[in-house]
A and B are shown apart, each in its own frame.
Chain A
Amino acid sequence: MIAGRAPAERASPRALALPKRRPAPGYAAVSRWFVALALAALLAADLHVSSLNPWGELGRLLAGLARPDLLSVAGWSIVYTVAFAVLGVGLGAGAGFLLAIPFARSRLVRVLCAALRAVHELFWALLLMQVFGLSATTGILAIALPYAGICAKVYSEIIEEADLSALRVLPAGTGAVSAFAYARLPDVAAAFRHYTLYRLECGMRSTLVLGFIGLPTMGFYLESAFRQGRYAEAGALLLVFYALIGTRRLWVRAKTLPLLVLGSALALPPMIGATDIGASLSRFLGHDIFPGPLRGAPLSDPETCARTWAWLRPILTDQVLPGAANTLILAQIALVATGLGALMLFPLVSRRFAGPLGRPLGRVLLVAVRSTPEYMLAYVALQLLGPSMLPAILALSIHNAGIIGFLMGRHADLIPYRPDAPRGLNLYAYETVPRLYGQFLAYLLYRWEIILRESAILGILGVATLGYYVDAAISELRLDTAVVLIGATALMAVTVDALSRLLRRSLRINTLPTRLAEPVRHSAAVPDPRQRPA
C-alpha cells in the first residue's frame, strides 16, 4: 500500500483536504426537483387527444409541406413581414441602446425595461390594437416595445462584460461620449451587431405570430392556409420564411441597412380600422384601462373602494388564479420536456456522435425547428390533436429543445476529450453530459421565463392559461380586466426571472453563456494533434 511510503499523507488522516462545504443545491438536486414538479403537473394537466384522426391529418399536412405551391405565396406578405421586423426591431434596438446607457445605474430604467419585456409582443399588439387599430403602427410598436426592454438589458450586459483596460488609459477629462465611442463601443460593437441580427430573426418570427391576429404578414396567410387545410400553400410560405431567415446574413449588411429601413417605411401597409388616433389614445389611457368602478368616481370615497374590490375579486379568483395555475403547469411540463428533448437532440449536431455526414443534416433539422415560431407549431398541433394542453406542450418543447440542443452541440464539439475516451453512449453518459450539465442548466433556466411567457400566450389558442382569459376580456372589450390579467402575467414572468437568476447564482452557473446569439467561446482546449505515423 502506498500510504506506507507517503509520510505526508500518513501523518494525519485529515491530510486529504477535501473542501467540506458542499454547494447548497447541486445540479442533480435541482434537476430532480424540476422533474418531480413536472410529474406532479402532468397529473393536473389535460392531455387528451380529441381529434378523430390525427394521423390522417398529419399525413395530409406532411404531403402538403412536401409539395409546396410556391406560386400561391402572396408577395406583399413577404415585404410586410420584412418591413415590420426591420422597423420594429430597429426602433426597439435603438431605444434599447439609449436605455442601456443608464441601465446599470438607474433602478427606474431597470424596472421600466423589466415591465416592457415581461409583456409578450402578442399582448402588446392586442392592447395597441385598441388605439391604433389593425395598422402598421400596432405591428411595429408591438415588436419595438418589448424588444426595447430586452435589448436594453442585453446591451447593458455586453457593456458590463467588455474589456475596460482602454477606458482606464484615456486622458483625464475625456468627455463621456468620446470615452464611450473610443474606448467602449469598438470593443462591444461586434457583440451588439451579433445580438441585433439575432433579434431581427426573432422579430421575423414575431411578425408571423402577429399575422395570426390579423396583421397582413406571412403569418396571416399561414393561419388561413392551415385553417382551411391548404397545406401546399402553407408549405410554400414556410419555405420562403426559412429562406428569409437562412439568408439574413446576406441581405442584412451595413450597406443594405439604410435601403432596408427606407424601403420598409415606404412599403408599410395603409391603415385599417381606427382613424382618430388622438381620441382613441386618450379614451384608452383615460377611460378604458381604468377599472370600471373607478371611472369618474371619487377615489377617496370608501364606497368606491368596496365596489372596486367587488369588481377585482371575481377576476382574481375566477381568472387570474386558474389562469396562473394552468400557465405554471404548462410551463413546468414544457420546461422539463424541453430539457429532455435538448439532451436527446444535441448529439445530432455534435461531431463525435453524428459524424461528418450526420452533423450537417442535424443542423438543418435543428435550425428549421428553431426558426419555426412556437405559436405556429402550437396552432398546427392544435389542428391535428384537438384542444388540450398537449399541442402547447409539444410546440414549446420542440421549439426550445431545438434551440438549446443546437447550442449544446456547439459546446460539445469544444470539449477536450482525452485520447482514450470511450465512445457512443458511454462517452455521452460519462463524459459529454456531465461536462455540459452546468451549461445545459444555464440555458434551460434562462429559457424558463421565456417558456412561461409563451405558455401564457398560447392560451389564445384555447388552453385555459392566462392568455385565454386575456383574449376573452379583449374580445368582450373589457380592457380593464385585460390589463389586470396582463399585469399578472408580467408579474409571474418577472418572478420566474428572479428565481432563475437566484438558482443560476447558487449553482454557480451565472457566468456561463446564456445568450443564443453569442459566438461560443473557444475554451482552453488541449490540442488534439492529428498524428500521422509516416
Chain B
Amino acid sequence: MSGPAITLANASAAYDGRTVLRGIDLTIRTGERVALMGRSGAGKSTLIGLIHGQAAERIALVPQASALVRTLSVFHNVYMGRLDRNPTLHNLRNLVWPAAADWTEVGRVLGRVGLADAIRAKAGALSGGQQQRVSVARALYNGRPILVADEPVSALDRAQGAAILAEMARTHETLVLALHDVALALAHAGRIVVLDEGRIVLDAPSRGLDAAALAPFYEPAA
C-alpha cells in the first residue's frame, strides 16, 4: 500500500439546497478496493461524484446510467474513453473511418467484457446488460489508474457481474465501486464503506464482515 489516492475531509454536498452528504472523511489509498454500500438514496452516487470531482484526471469513470450515445456504434462509444488524449483531427477521422490500430485495441477491450462480436452494432440496439458492459469497456479503455464505478454490474446476473468485477480488478489496482449486492461486495472489495442518510456509518475491512453484519443497513428505515 502506498500514499492516498483520494482524500475527502469533512466534505458535504447538496442538491437544490437539500443536503445529501455531510461530514464525509474518506481516504482511499492506492491499491485499495473499496465497495460503497447503503440503501438507495443514501448518497452513494453523490459520493462517487465528489470522488470524481476530486481527481478527474486520474479516474476512469463508469457512470450510473450507461450514458452511451445510442446512434453511434459500440466501437465509437468505447473509443470515447480516450477522446481527450487523442488529437481532435484523429477523433474526427475515427468517426468516419476508424483507424485499424484503434479498432484492434477497442476490440481487445470489448473481448474482456465478452462483447467482441458487438463492435459494429449500434449502441442503441443492445440490451440493458450489454449497454452496461459497453460502459465498463469505455472505462477500461480509458485506462486511467483509479477505476470508479457506480453500480457497474446492476443489470447483470451474479456470475456475469463477478466476471466483470474480476476483469476490472485485473488491470486496475485502485477500485471504488458502488454496489448493492452484498455477496459481490464481500468477494471483490477489501474494504467496505457503508453510507446511511448522508453519513459514513461503517468503514471496515471486508475480512471481518459477513452478510449478516451488513444486513441492518439494508432493512427499511424505521
Residues of A within 8 A of B (CB): 1-3, 5-9, 13, 16-19, 27, 416-426, 429-431, 434-435, 437-438, 526-527, 529-534
Contacts and interface: CB of A to CB of B under 8 A. Distances in A.
B114 A533 contact: no
A527 to B, nearest CB: 7
A534 B10 contact: yes
B167 interface: yes
Nearest to B92: A429
A16 B61 contact: no
B141 to A, nearest CB: 12
- Among A19, A418, A526, the most chain B Cβ lie within 10 Å of the Cβ of A418
Interface stretch (B64-72, B174-182, B189-197): B64-72
A419 B49 contact: yes
Given A1-B112, A2-B164, A425-B92, A533 B11 contact: yes
A1 B166 CA distance: 10
A430 B72 CA distance: 8
Interface residues of B, number: 54
B80 A422 contact: yes
Contacts of A27: 71
Given A2-B163, A2-B164, A533-B8, A424 B88 contact: yes
Contacts of A531: 13, 46, 49-50, 53
B187 to A, nearest CB: 13
Given A533-B12, A533-B54, 11 more contacts: A2-B113, A6-B159, A8-B160, A18-B125, A418-B67, A419-B61, A429-B95, A532-B14, A533-B53, A534-B11, A534-B12
Contacts of A13: 117
- Among A5, A17, A19, A430, the most chain B Cβ lie within 10 Å of the Cβ of A430
B209 interface: no
Nearest to B115: A16
Given A16-B117, A18-B121, A527-B15, A416 B76 contact: no
A430 B76 contact: yes
A424 B88 CA distance: 9
Contact of B83 (A3, A416, A426): A426
Interface of B: 8, 10-15, 20, 46, 49-50, 52-54, 56, 59, 61, 63-65, 67, 69-72, 76, 80, 83-84, 88, 91-92, 95, 111-115, 117-118, 121, 125-127, 130, 142, 157, 159-160, 162-164, 166-167
A438 B112 CA distance: 32
B118 to A, nearest CB: 6
- Among B12, B70, B83, B112, the most chain A Cβ lie within 10 Å of the Cβ of B83
A16 B118 contact: yes
Nearest to B65: A526
Contacts of A1: 111-112
Contact of A5 (B14, B118, B157, B159): B159
Contacts of A418: 61, 63, 65, 67
Contacts of A423: 84
B47 to A, nearest CB: 9
B19 to A, nearest CB: 10
A366 to B, nearest CB: 25
Contact of B63 (A8, A420, A431): A420
Given A2-B164, A426-B84, A534-B10, A8 B118 contact: no
A271 to B, nearest CB: 57
A533 B166 CA distance: 32
B16 to A, nearest CB: 9
B159 A417 contact: no
